[in-house]
C-alpha cells in the first residue's frame, strides 16, 4: 500500500507567534444619551478614536408587462445606488 504525501500547505504550518494580551472592553448603553460606549475592566470609558460610518446600497427594480396570464413584451430593469456618510469628528 502506498502512502500519499502530506498536502503542501500542512508542511508549511507553524505555531502562531506569541501575542500580547489585550485588555477586555465591554460595550454598554449610556443611560443618559442612549449611545453605546466602551468601558474597560475598571469601568472607565475608552475612547476608540474618530471614525465615521457609512452605508451603501444597490437597489434593483424590474418591470414586466402584462398580467402574467401570457407572454408579455419586453422587460425593463435598472439599478439605483445610494451612499450616505455621516460627519466624523476629527
d(CA 45, CA 33): 14
- At which residue does the C-alpha cell 457609512 appear? 54
Tell me which range, 18-22, 77-81, 82-86, is most confidently predicted by mean pLDDT: 18-22
pLDDT digit string, tens, across residues 5-51: 888 888 788 888 898 887 788 888 988 988 888 888 888 888 876 66
Tell me the residue range of the domain where 35 lies. Answer: 22-46
| pLDDT of amino acid 27 | 86
- Is residue 89 predicted with pLDDT exceeding 60? no
- Cβ(65)–Cβ(73) under 8 Å? yes
In angstroms, the CA 49 to CA 89 distance is: 9
- Mean pLDDT value of segment 55-63: 68
Specify the number of domains making up the chain. Answer: 1
Amino acid at each position: 500500500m502506498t502512502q500519499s504525501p502530506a498536502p503542501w500547505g500542512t508542511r508549511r504550518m507553524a505555531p502562531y507567534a506569541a501575542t500580547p494580551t489585550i485588555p477586555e472592553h465591554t460595550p454598554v448603553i449610556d443611560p443618559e444619551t442612549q449611545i453605546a460606549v466602551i468601558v474597560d475592566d475598571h469601568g472607565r470609558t475608552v475612547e476608540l478614536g474618530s471614525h465615521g460610518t457609512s452605508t451603501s446600497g444597490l437597489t434593483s427594480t424590474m418591470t414586466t408587462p402584462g398580467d402574467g396570464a401570457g407572454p408579455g413584451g419586453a422587460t425593463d430593469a435598472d439599478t439605483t445606488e445610494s451612499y450616505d456618510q455621516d460627519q466624523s469628528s476629527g
